[in-house]
Amino acid sequence: MLSSYLGYYSLILGFILSVWLLFDSFISLSKKNKNLKKNTILVLFLQLFTVVLSFLSLVYSFINSDFSNETVYNNSHTTKPLFYKISGTWGNHEGSLLLWLLVLTLFIFLFIFKSKNQPTKYKLLTLFFQQIIIIGFFLFLLLTSNPFNFLFPIPNEGLGLNPILQDPALAIHPPILYLGYVGSSIIFSASLAALVQKNINADWAQHIKKWIFTAWIFLTLGIMLGSIWAYYELGWGGFWFWDPVENVSLMPWLCLTALLHTIVVLEKRLILQSWTLILSIATFTLSMSGTFLVRSGILNSVHTFANDPSRGVFILIFLFVLIVLSLIIFFFYHPKESSEKKIFWFSKETTILINNWFMMYFLSVVLIGTTYPIFLEVITNEKISVGPPFYHKLLIPFLIPFLIFMAIGPKLKWIKQAFKKIKIQQFILFILSFLISYLIVEKTSVEHLFTTILIGAAFYLFFITIGEFFKKNINFSQNISHFGFSLFVLSVLFNSLFSSEFSANMKIGEELKFDNNLIKFNNIETFDEKNYKSIIANFDIISVKDTTTFNPEIRIYNQPNILTSEADIKSSFFSDKFLVINLLKGDKLFNVRYQNKSFMIWIWISVLLLVFGGLASFVKRYNR
Amino acid sequence: MKKKIIYLIIFLLLIFVFSVFFKGLYKPNLYSPSQTSNKSLIEFSGKELFTNIEINSSQLISNNKFTIVNIWASWCVPCRSEHKILMDLSKNLNLNLIGINYKDNSESAKKFIHELGNPFSKILVDNSGITSIELGAYGIPETLLVNDNAKIIKKYIGPLTDKNVKEIEKITNQ
Amino acid sequence: MKYFKLILIILISFIFLQKNLVANDNSKLVNKISKNLRCLICQGQSIYDSQSDFAISMKLLIKKKIEEGNSETKIYQYLKNQYGEWIVYDPELNKKTILLWLFPLILFAFGGLLIFRKVFINKL
């Protein structure tokens, strides 16, 4: 009870402080102060403190199952394990918004703290813009999504959180994702500040690069965690479904990755200033739009939070304000590009421009695919679905030139690459990649030409990046990330080419044949656990080489009344063997699905390599 | 000047996009296929629940001015509450009711009928659910009102309400 | 510029040449089709993934239709007639969806044009 009061009034205080900060920074700007006032920094810290306090009070309410708090009542249960009581704090709409605020206030505080060498006007402007966003979220929370609403009479028990959401990967997925997603807010504010300040130069690029990389690392990790959860928990064996909520996290990622490349160009050659700024603004705009699409109820998805049109209206208006604000500032302050600096076509800058070109295309495919059904329905009242086939058809062909450019690009010099004779080695490597690819594809029954070229291109990037590791003076972080990406494309392709599946309805004691294997349904055992009844089945999969025993489980929860299937997954470097069962109504039949997913674990490893490359950029050693 | 036009276009595009999203917020999210259609009911057949005789729908449909096809199951809670309305409708001489027992256990289905009454002239057993899907159903209970030419006049998804009943009576009493 | 256009044409033709792979025997075809269908009563799951009654019955229906000799396209057409276009995940190319398919490609071409202007005009 008390913690709800504490949480609520901390929020009110935080809100007041943000309004104060907004006016204070405005006044300091008009007075052209030379330094940040000590008061400003203190209030900024206090603002962070109030939000942390509010967040912790909510956590406390969850841990103590304080059902006088409506959010806790809706999303928790006394029998939930402690870890999931805590993670339940941000597993709902109101709590996750509090997490948004936490990251927003944390990042501006860290930013001011770490930008001591930056001009004061720039810092004040960043503060100003970030506070606009913060105020917007405070209002959103306090007016439409209060996490501290009271319930009277106090219920004895909560409604419980969906057991599918009680998973370690899913528990940390929101905080990590938000560090990336919401972290892009600081890039947005700092870019607007740099626009007004008119100091978009190499120093600024170097400074903002750290923030871009940080947000990017967390966003990549966050998306990966969501995918891992879907794969291990949902029991379908898939890891990406082109579901609107997934797409909504992918869009800022694509933008951020493009920005990551552009900022390097800005740092080295002081060109593409306007484009860099547009990307910065677009990234956060996409994050905000994503929040709108997911929380307003306008889209139909497995992941959507509770839907409420009034919340949607708020975010929509807020988003509109932010975009118009950015447009106005851009209109008045846009940098005048120096017309002497040109880009030679055979240079590294061009390949980075090409990277951006492809990234923006991928972004447009995902954006249009996700939002088109909404437009169609509003305008013509027709409903269509846009699913995986659409995205695959439009994206995969373009991966081919993309991969090849990725292989060539890093090898080109800045400004101008002289036309050396194409080394025989390069040419042989190119041919070799496609040859190997053909030999592999030939063994499968898929359409040869297209798949061969696709895998060949991925192999080319793969070999080129491996070759780079053996040279001196390489850009290690870039190479690791590009290598990780080639590995990712290869793993996903091999996974879809060589995986196999088998599904049937089986009785206890039955055995069935598939390919060269025998699947035996031995028996089931039932157990009573703390908050669910467990049915564990025993299967043997007998292949030519060996016998593996699987124990997939079905859990029947009492609160809420839900049935979940826990797959038994045996991972190895070559494949994941995946067995999942489902209860069929009435009979003693179980629906059994066995999948052999090739190279699954390499998909996760390659994404980790991608992230590792980003981390490595922080510890770059210059071998000059 | 060119720049100003670009900004104007962007601004107008923004207004367009936002109005669409705004309108989109208030559209219902659950999909229900068009309630009225000019479709015909396909022919279907199955074993009768009590007699186990194979029956075919075409004769049943053409012999009656109006037929109601109701898809139900003993394990379906809303079907229970809807049943009384079906009993009332069965008193309408212009209407013939056919029941389709969806993915049910025969014993439980018979018990359901014995307990609550039988408004149906015939009940077809649909163990696999294929027949119901072929009729275009996707959840139960669902009710179809067809005429003697097997044209679907009305489709009701979910349990029948009093309003639906009034509508049915109006159509069948013409 | 000529090469650029050529590459663009090849790329776009790849999109339409992508005949979907595998699917030899019936169960594989059932899986393939059900992956492309939306489960109407679940939020955002495919018929393949869903374990709801509707999905299970639907899979049986698809199997029956395949055994009756219907082609994949005919099955999709049948289901679209019954339930509307919403049930199929692959939006077909028609008047309603032409913008959906073309818009990204137009943007791609537009982006290419911008780069071309920046890079090739004004050579160093």
Compute the nearest-CA separation of C81 from chain B (Å): 9
Give the gap in angstroms from C-alpha C91 to the nearest C-alpha of chain A: 6
Cβ contacts below 8 Å, chain A against chain C, sum to 137
Q: How far apart are CA B25 and CA A259, in angstroms?
A: 31
Is A378's CB within 8 Å of B24's CB?
yes
Interface of A with C in 578-597 (CB under 8 A): 582, 584-585, 591
**Across the B/C interface, how many CB contacts are shorter than 8 Å?**
38
Question: In degrees to the nearest 10, what's the CA dihedral of A471, A477, A483, A489?
Answer: -160
The secondary structure of B95-125, three-state, reads EEEEEEEECCCHHHHHHHHHHHCCCCCEEEE
Total of domains in chain B: 1
Task: With respect to residue B27, please indicate whether it lies within any of the assigned structural domains.
Answer: no
User: Do residue A397 and residue C15 have CB atoms under 8 angstroms apart?
Assistant: yes
Residues 409-428 of A with CB under 8 A from C: 415-416
Q: What residues of chain C lie within 8 A of the CB of B136, using their CB? A: 82-83
For residue A307, pLDDT beyond 70: no
Tokens of B163: 């309003």
Distance of CA A406 to the CA centre of its chain: 22
Pairwise pLDDT comparison (B125 vs A164), residue with the higher score: B125
Which pLDDT score is estimated for A215? 96
Q: Which chains touch C (3 or more CB pairs under 8 A)?
A: A, B
Q: Band of the pLDDT at B36, cuts 50, 70, 90?
A: very low
Average pLDDT, chain A: 88
- Is the pLDDT at C25 greater than 70? The verdict is no
* Cβ pair A323:B105 closer than 8 A: no
Q: Cβ of C82 and B132 within 8 Å? A: no
Q: What is the residue extent of each domain of chain C?
A: 22-119
Q: Provide ipTM, 2 decimals.
A: 0.85
User: Quick check: C53 and B129 CB within 8 A?
Assistant: yes
A388 — contact with chain C (CB < 8 Å)?
yes
Tokens of A306: 């509770």
pLDDT tens digits, residue range C61-93? Answer: 898 889 888 888 899 988 888 788 888 888 888
Nearest CA distance, A470 vs chain C (angstrom)? 32
CATH at residue B152: 3.40.30.10
* Residue A621: pLDDT over 50: yes
Residue A101 CB neighbour total at 10 angstroms: 27
Smallest CA–CA separation between C120 and chain A, in Å? 6
Picking from B102, B72, B76, B108, the residue whose alpha carbon sits closest to that of residue B87 is B72
| Tens-place pLDDT, residues A442-480 | 877 777 888 889 999 999 999 999 988 888 878 888 999
| pLDDT band, residue B61 (cuts 50/70/90) | confident
Angle between helices A120-144 and A2-30 (to 10 degrees): 150
Choose from A254-258, A472-476, A592-596, B46-50 the range with maximum mean pLDDT: A254-258
Containing domain of residue B73, as a range? 45-172
**Chain C partners of B125 at a C-beta cutoff of 8 Å?**
none
Q: In this structure, which long-range contacts are made by residues A28-37, counting pairs with CB atoms below 8 Å and at least 24 apart in sequence? A: A28/A124, A29/A121, A29/A124, A29/A125, A29/A128, A32/A121, A33/A120, A33/A124, A34/A120, A35/A120, A36/A112, A36/A120, A36/A123, A36/A124
From chain C residues 23-42, the ones with a CB under 8 A of any chain A CB are: 24, 27, 31, 35-36, 38, 42
Contact (CB, 8 A) for A211 and A190: yes
In whole angstroms, what is the distance from residue A302 CA to residue A312 CA? 18
Quick one: pLDDT band at residue A418, thresholds 50, 70, 90? low
Reported as a single tens digit per residue, the pLDDT across B126-174 is: 888 888 888 888 778 899 888 888 888 888 888 888 888 888 888 887 6
Nearest-CA distance A161 → chain C (Å)? 18
Lowest mean pLDDT among A175-179, A610-614, B53-57: B53-57
Band (A483; pLDDT cuts 50, 70, 90): very high
For residue C123, pLDDT over 90 is answered with no
The CA distance from C82 to the nearest CA of chain A, in Å, is 14
pLDDT at A430 over 80: yes
The answer to whether the CB atoms of C54 and B139 lie below 8 A apart is yes
Q: Has residue B8 been placed in a domain?
A: no
Q: Pick from A201, A210, A180, A174: which is nearest to A620 by CA? A: A210
The mean per-residue pLDDT over the stretch A71-82 comes to 87
Of A102-106, A171-175, A451-455, C16-20, give the range with the top mean pLDDT. Answer: A102-106
If we measure between CA atoms, which residue out of A89, A81, A84 comes closest to residue A55?
A: A89
Q: Which residue has the higher pLDDT, A403 or A164?
A: A403
Map out the domains of chain A as residue ranges: 2-331+348-380, 500-601
Cβ contacts of A452 within 8 Å, gap of 6 or more: A434, A437, A438, A441
Instruction: Judge contact between B130 and C53, C-beta under 8 A.
Output: no
Burial status of residue A113 (CB atoms within 10 A of its CB: 0-12, 13-18, 19 or more): exposed
Mean pLDDT of B25-40: 60
Q: Which residues of C touch B (CB under 8 A)?
A: 40-41, 53-54, 56-58, 60-61, 64, 81-84, 86
What pLDDT does residue C1 have? 46
CATH number for the domain whose boundaries are C22-119: 1.10.8.640
Mean pLDDT of A45-70: 94
The arithmetic mean of pLDDT across residues B9-36, rounded, is: 75
